[in-house]
């Protein structure tokens, strides 16, 4: 496991898992959605800081972006973006994180 992957699993993975669990209950209330948005925003910022230049890696950028986008959807677009879509995006980010690499369909054939 690389240093970048360690930072992701230590900072973002727990936040993604908690957010997915919180959004899995039927109709989480506004307070819970706000808490999850803050959790994801904080985790994304912390990961970005700790990753430094490694955050430019496309895979890492996509994972961190998942948390940031979900936080914005929950706070700025609350009610506009369906919670099911936010949850699905978080699950995709978590899958990419736990896989440790790009899925075959996303890999650049030139590499």
Across 52-64, b (16+ Cβ under 10 Å) vs e yields eebbeeebbeebb
Residue 45 has pLDDT above 60, yes or no: yes
- Do the domain assignments include residue 105? no
Cα gap 40→76, rounded to integer Å: 13
Tokens standing for residue 35:
């808490």
| Per-residue pLDDT at 57 | 87
Cα gap 89→49, rounded to integer Å: 22
Question: CA 75: distance to chain centroid?
Answer: 15
- Do the domain assignments include residue 110? no
> Which residue range is the domain that position 61 belongs to?
3-99
- Do the domain assignments include residue 107? no
- Do the domain assignments include residue 106? no
- Do the domain assignments include residue 65? yes
- Do the domain assignments include residue 90? yes
Band (44; pLDDT cuts 50, 70, 90) = very high
Tokens standing for residue 99:
């896989």
Q: Which residue has the higher pLDDT, 6 or 101?
A: 6
* Total domain count, the chain: 1
Residue 93 has pLDDT above 70, yes or no: yes
């Amino acid at each position: 496991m690389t240093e970048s992957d360690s930072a992701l699993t230590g900072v973002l993975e727990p936040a993604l898992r908690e957010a997915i669990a919180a959004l899995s209950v039927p109709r989480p209330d506004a307070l819970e959605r706000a808490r999850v948005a803050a959790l994801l925003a904080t985790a994304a910022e912390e990961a970005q800081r700790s990753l430094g230049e490694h955050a430019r890696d496309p895979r890492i950028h996509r994972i961190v972006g998942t948390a940031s986008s979900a936080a914005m959807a929950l706070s700025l677009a609350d009610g506009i973006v369906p919670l099911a879509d936010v949850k699905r995006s978080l699950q995709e980010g978590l899958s990419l994180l736990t896989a440790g690499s790009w899925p075959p369909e996303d890999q650049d054939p030139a590499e």
